[in-house]
Every structure is written in structure tokens, then in C-alpha cells.
Amino acid sequence: MTTPMPPQLAQPGQPYVLSFNAYSFEGGALVDPLSVTLDITYGGYVQLVPDVAGGGPFTYQGADPTMAGPNVLWRTGVGQYSFQWAVPGTMMPGVYTANWTWQYGPNNDTYLAAENFPVAQITPTFPQPPGQVGFWTGSISYQPAWASEPFVIPLGETDSNGVAWLLENVTGWDGPPTVGQVVQRSADHGGWPSAQYYGPRLLTVTILATAPDQATRDLAKQQLVQAIPVSDLATFVWNEPVPKQIYVRQNGSANITMSTPSLIDVEFTIPLVAPDPRKYSTIPLTETATLPPPVINPLTLPLTLPIGFPGSAPPVASAITCTNSGTFETRPIITVTGPITNPSIVNAATGQAITWTGLNMGTSDQLVVSTDARQGFLNSIFCPADVTSAWWVMYPGDTQVYLTGDTFEGGATISVVWSSAYC
């Protein structure tokens, strides 16, 4: 028996040709059997499961190549037979079996030759639910250090492998849990409210993947597991009317579960934890300002030194306005480029300042400050701020930020990068 190896992929709605060669056991030569019958089955061999091809089983009844056609078994030469199956367009994808039953020899011995062949599925599409105008869309993406490209799961879309990813449900998106308590008053009714904060956000995401075939479905399983790190952070984007994203990893107290309702479908239940409970805008914003050179205006003061002067207001030209369009405070990344001495990053709305006393930055020096981690790095080397620094945040609305310090040249710059935050 011969069929192309590996067998070609049968396409629903298109004809598919199966071939069979009969050889004698003694000499290995092609011989004509006394009879040839073909059964096409799914999930088992003939007599164990029913035929799936309409009109089957199919028996050779003397047809030659001139009589070839759909659902006709014909002889092409000595011991050589072919069959053209008109694969229905609604055929379930998977692995099917061609069961060739033939009789040969003086005792009319019966033999069974079986060979598997795959049937594909037309690229799946999402059925439109009644009363809805669209689907939840978004993505899960993760860029490991060792990979040249990130792993991306496009939710609400069909990827390049023909896998359709449907975001079915998200729990925990509404609000994060809180951490804190109320301390009972001593010998009195009620309690004292101690400090309370938002804790890590816990989410459960349910995703359905529909693949063209079983092998691609299994590949989709591997893709999703790779996109959910266990000790790093991935980006989960949910395209609400205002798209938002959070940074997540697999929850250490639970595992990803998978159910396979069919040979081409897999449903994932994914437990996630977001250490940072904020939901961020997917579009980061940037503002930059350059300190102008100082104005030299020598004056003769009719005063006796030493004398103290009040601190000056920040020059308007060097202040920048940052707008947090969200509903919760956000914490920017700030970059300061020299030359400047004793840099101080000030939140004009609160008067709080992050300072580095004694730091002398040259023209090529760069100080990168994370107001979330409360750390600064000068030319990629850790550079702690003064212990008296006030690590400020940007509340919803406008926040003016400016850079001050001791410089005699001007040209120092401050750049603020932030995303609006929601909770």
C-alpha cells in the first residue's frame, strides 16, 4: 500500500486521492487481488468505528482510469488502485484512517492495510455573538533576555499560525486588594485606623485558542506557557475604550490549567499576580526642559555681609507640566543630563525635592532616577540620593516639575517619562 509519505494534508471541501498497491507475499510483485474494499474511519480501525465517508465502504467494481471520479474506486494498473474522496466542507479536522481490505491467494485470504492521513480545518473565525459589536482584544507579551523577539499572544485575533485567540473572561481587573488593619482601642469601643495600602493585584484570565489542527493546538499550548513568566514580568494589555496595561507573572500559588474540549480547541485558565496594582495607559508620555544659562547682573548692595537670601522661585522657562490623566498616582522615570552640581528634582505642586548634595555632573554625565524604586543611577552606576530627599509622586491632574542646582554654564536638561495610572 502506498500513499505519499508523509501523507498530504486533506482540505475540507476539496477532493483527496488515496492510493493502494497490492504485492504478493512470496515474490513481492504487484498482483491483482480478488477484491478490494476501502473504509474511511475516524478514531479507530474498520469494524471498531463506523465509516465517516458518505456512501462507504467503497468496493472495486471494475472501474478503470476513464471512470475516475469522486467516491469511485478504480484500477490504474496491475495491483494498483486509487480513490478520490470528496472531503465534505464540514469535516472535523484530525487524523483519519484509510482501511484497505483485500482478498488474495488460493484460499481467498483476507488482509487489512491501514494508513493514517490528516484532514485540516479552514482557518477558524470567531462567531459574532448576538447583540455585540466586537470582542475583547488585547495581548500578552514577554521579552526574555535570551530571545531575539518577544513572545506575543494576540487576544481577539488570529495569529500567523492560524490560531484564533479569544479572551473569554478576566477577574480581578476591577480593583486590587488592600493590606492593613484597624487596631482595637484599649479598654474602649472601636479601633484606630492604621496605615492601609493596595496590595498586589490578583487576576484570573480565561482564554480559548482554536487551531487549524491538533498539532498547531499543541504548539499554541507551548506558546502561551512561554508568554507567562514565573520569575519575570510580562505585559498584559486589555483594549478597553481607554486601553490599559499591567505587568504580571504567574501566581506562585497556582498553576495554568488547560482543558481540551476538542482536537483543535484548548481553554486556558491563567492565574496572574501584578506586583504593581496600577493599570497604566499604553501610551507613555515624555516632557523635556533645558536649564538656561544664568543671567549675570552685578549689583552693589548697600548691606553688610554676611546676609541670607530666600530661595528663588523656579524659572518658568525650565519648568515642565506633566499631566496624569488617570485616577491614581503614578511614578515617573526622570533623566538628568549635566552639566550641573548638586542637582535637585522638585515637584512644584508639593514642594518636595529629590536631591544629590555634592554630586558634580559633567556635560556627558547622565543620572537616571526611578521614583518608584527610589533609586538613581549615574552613568549606570548606583548613586543614592540624599537621605533627606522626599520621593514624590504625580497625582491625577497636572504636576509641574523642574530641575535646580548649582551650575555656571546652563544647558543641563531634565526629561520626565510617565504613564497615566488607574486603580
CATH code of 394's domain = 2.60.120.860
Q: Is the peptide bond before 57 cis (omega within 30 degrees of 0)?
A: yes
* 145 in the same domain as 114: no
pLDDT at 298: 53
* 231 in the same domain as 214: yes
With a pLDDT cut of 70, the percent of the chain lying above it is 89
pLDDT at 130: 38
Whether the per-residue pLDDT at 296 is higher than 80: the answer is: no
**Looking at the domain assignment, is residue 164 inside a domain?**
yes
* 144 in the same domain as 58: no
Span 296-318, mean pLDDT? Answer: 51
**Looking at the domain assignment, is residue 304 inside a domain?**
no
**Looking at the domain assignment, is residue 37 inside a domain?**
yes
Looking at the structure of the chain, the number of domains it has is 3
**Looking at the domain assignment, is residue 343 inside a domain?**
yes
* 269 in the same domain as 289: no
CATH code of 74's domain = 2.60.40
pLDDT tens-digit map of 224-273: 999 999 999 999 999 988 899 999 999 988 899 999 988 888 999 999 99
Q: Are 98 and 3 in contact (CB under 8 A)?
A: yes
Could you list the residue range(s) of the whole structural domain that residue 170 is in? 138-174+198-277
* 263 in the same domain as 144: yes
* 265 in the same domain as 289: no
CA distance to 213, 222, 227, 279, 378, per residue, from 216 (Å): 5, 10, 16, 33, 48
CATH code of 212's domain = 2.40.30
pLDDT tens-digit map of 369-412: 999 999 999 999 999 999 999 999 999 999 999 999 887 677 89
**Looking at the domain assignment, is residue 191 inside a domain?**
no
pLDDT at 306: 55
Instruction: List, as one string, the DSSP characters of 358-380.
Output: T-EE-TT-EEEEETTTTEEEETT
User: Please, what's the b/e burial string for 131-170 (b: 16 or more CB within 10 A of its CB; e: otherwise)?
Assistant: eeeeeebbbbbbeeeeeeeebbbbbbebbeebbbbbbeeb
